[in-house]
Amino acid sequence: MADLTLLVEAAVRRGGFTLTLDVTVPPGQVLGVLGPNGSGKTTLLRALAGLAPVATGRISLGGTVLDDAAAGTFTQAAQRPVGYVFQDYRLFPHLTVTENVAFGPRARGMGRAAGRAAAREWLARLGIADLAGRKPAQLSGGQAQRVALARALAGQPELLLLDEPMSALDARTRLEVQAELRQHLADFPGPCLLVTHDPLEALVLADRLLVLEDGKVVQDGPPARVARQPATEYVARLVGLNLYSGSLASAAGEPATVTVDGGGAFTVPGSLPADEEGLPGINACPSGRPQGARGDIPFAPPGRRVLIAVRPSAIVVGTEPPHGISARNVWPARVAGLTLLADRVRLDLRGKPDAFVDVTAAAVAELSLGPGSRVWLSVKATDLEVYRP
């Protein structure tokens, strides 16, 4: 198979909304597209599938131009080598499972018998051969999802698009389907885009994450880094981290202090790198643990903008100002709310700065915490993940 790299450098309009995007997806890569509702995730898939033309720019797949606004070329959806799993699956209600899966091969010129044979092969490969004669109305959510995937793959696409493939499933089915889907995505040779708003799904299934907000890419990188160094409040919330933006306040050489926007300050480890090269950008780090800002290079200029991510469990809560501890960052706060998570309680704390902190239920009882309680928070400088926005 030729080098099927997907290149998108385009703006897509939908109503008053514009999605601007410049992204390259190599073959075999699963790009997880994350973002809140209305961020342009589905708009992106529609443009790739040919269900909407780009307003400006171009889309190409393996060197073949699919859409080019400047040149005025546009490949119709039916002529694109694309497999699309829709959020609501869109299985044809009047056709059986086999006929649904055979639809792509048949539409692309296969005879009736050959199309059905191809469909049966795909159903067998996805382990749902026993559903062949059913109508979509007789399928469970998980079964319908598998049929939709089989239908998309049966057309032998070179580009695979999945729009929230598991959002319609219950939690239990989702786990099952997720494991299977992971396998099928690994087998798929071309580029694959997986739209989701479930961070776990994205972390498990995607090789790389692209975070969209309001029609723009706000973060693009390996899942491990997105999970560790979220670029925006939305991403931080998604991966369950506290995120602070601020600027470097201390002079060069001293332990650096970051003034947090909206009040408060953090002492951060060492000093921050001075130049762009010294602090790897979010787009530059290939994989693994990013080289944060562990004080390698002195002379960070005051005023540099930085982001700080903190795990909610790294912050310690006490009812008295802590003494004799190594934590460099101590500040008072007030409990605004408590939420019971699976095995712990998440405290919503107001202070300078605000924070989410996870504690055990026992700790809540011991410290008699409730809405309005006054507490002291502390966090070690080494638990702060400091990075460039």
Partner 1 sequence: MNAGAPRGGRPGGLGGWFAPPRRLSPRERARLTGRGASPATAGGRLSVPAPLLVPAVIAVAFLVLPLAGLVRHAPWGRLGPALASADAVQALTLSLWTATVSTGACIVIGVPLAWVLARARFPGRPLLRALVTLPLVLPPVVGGVALLLALGRTGFIGRYLDEWFGLTIPFSPLAVVLAETFVAMPFLVITVEGALRSADQGFEEAAATLGAGRMTIFRRVTLPLVAPSLAAGAVLCWARALGEFGATITFAGSFPGKTETMPIAVYYALENDPDAAIALSLILLVVSITVLVSLRERWIRGSVVQ
Q: What is the DSSP string of 69-80?
A: TTTTEE--GGGS
Q: Choose, by CB under 8 A, the member of 37, 76, 183, 368 that binds partner 1.
A: 76
Q: Could you say whether residue 108 binds partner 1 (CB under 8 A)?
A: yes
* Residue 44: CB minimum distance to partner 1, A: 14
Cα R_g (the chain), whole angstroms: 25
Asked whether 209 and 219 are in contact (CB, 8 A), the reply is yes
For residue 57, give the 3-state DSSP assignment.
strand
* Cα 104 to Cα 313: distance, rounded to the nearest angstrom: 50
* Residue 28: CB minimum distance to partner 1, A: 21
Q: Helical H runs in 8-96?
A: 41-49
* Residue 198: CB minimum distance to partner 1, A: 22
Task: State the amino acid at position 192 in one-letter form.
Answer: C
Contacts of 171 (CB under 8 A, 6+ apart): none
Which range of residues in 90-98, 189-197, 284-292, 372-380 is near partner 1 by CB under 8 A? Answer: 90-98
How many Cβ atoms sit within 10 Å of the Cβ of residue 201? 21
Strand-pair category, 329-340 with 374-379: antiparallel
* Residue 4: CB minimum distance to partner 1, A: 17
Q: What is the DSSP letter of 39?
A: S
Residue 86 or 331: which CB sits closer to partner 1? 86
Which range of residues in 71-79, 118-126, 193-201, 359-367 is near partner 1 by CB under 8 A? Answer: 71-79
Q: Could you say whether residue 107 binds partner 1 (CB under 8 A)?
A: yes
Q: What is the DSSP letter of 113?
A: H
Instruction: Please measure the distance between the N-terminal and C-terminal CA atoms of the chain and give it in whole angstroms.
Output: 38
Which range of residues in 46-54, 169-177, 229-237, 299-307 is near partner 1 by CB under 8 A? Answer: 46-54
Q: Could you say whether residue 50 binds partner 1 (CB under 8 A)?
A: yes
Q: Could you say whether residue 103 binds partner 1 (CB under 8 A)?
A: yes
Count of residues engaged in binding partner 1, rule: CB under 8 A: 26
Q: Choose, by CB under 8 A, the member of 71, 78, 113, 342 that binds partner 1.
A: 78
- Among positions 148-167, residues that touch partner 1 (CB under 8 A) are 151-152, 155
* Residue 308: CB minimum distance to partner 1, A: 43
Which range of residues in 45-53, 178-186, 212-220, 324-332 is near partner 1 by CB under 8 A? Answer: 45-53
* Residue 144: CB minimum distance to partner 1, A: 13
Q: Choose, by CB under 8 A, the member of 1, 94, 113, 303 that binds partner 1.
A: 94
Q: What is the DSSP letter of 40?
A: S
Q: Choose, by CB under 8 A, the member of 90, 182, 328, 346 that binds partner 1.
A: 90
Q: Could you say whether residue 83 binds partner 1 (CB under 8 A)?
A: yes
Task: State the amino acid at position 55 in one-letter form.
Answer: A
Contacts of 67 (CB under 8 A, 6+ apart): 10, 47, 50, 53, 54, 58, 59, 73, 74, 75
* Cα 113 to Cα 99: distance, rounded to the nearest angstrom: 11
Residue 103 or 387: which CB sits closer to partner 1? 103
Site of interaction with partner 1 (CB under 8 A): 49-51, 76-80, 82-84, 86, 88, 90, 92-95, 103-104, 107-108, 137, 151-152, 155
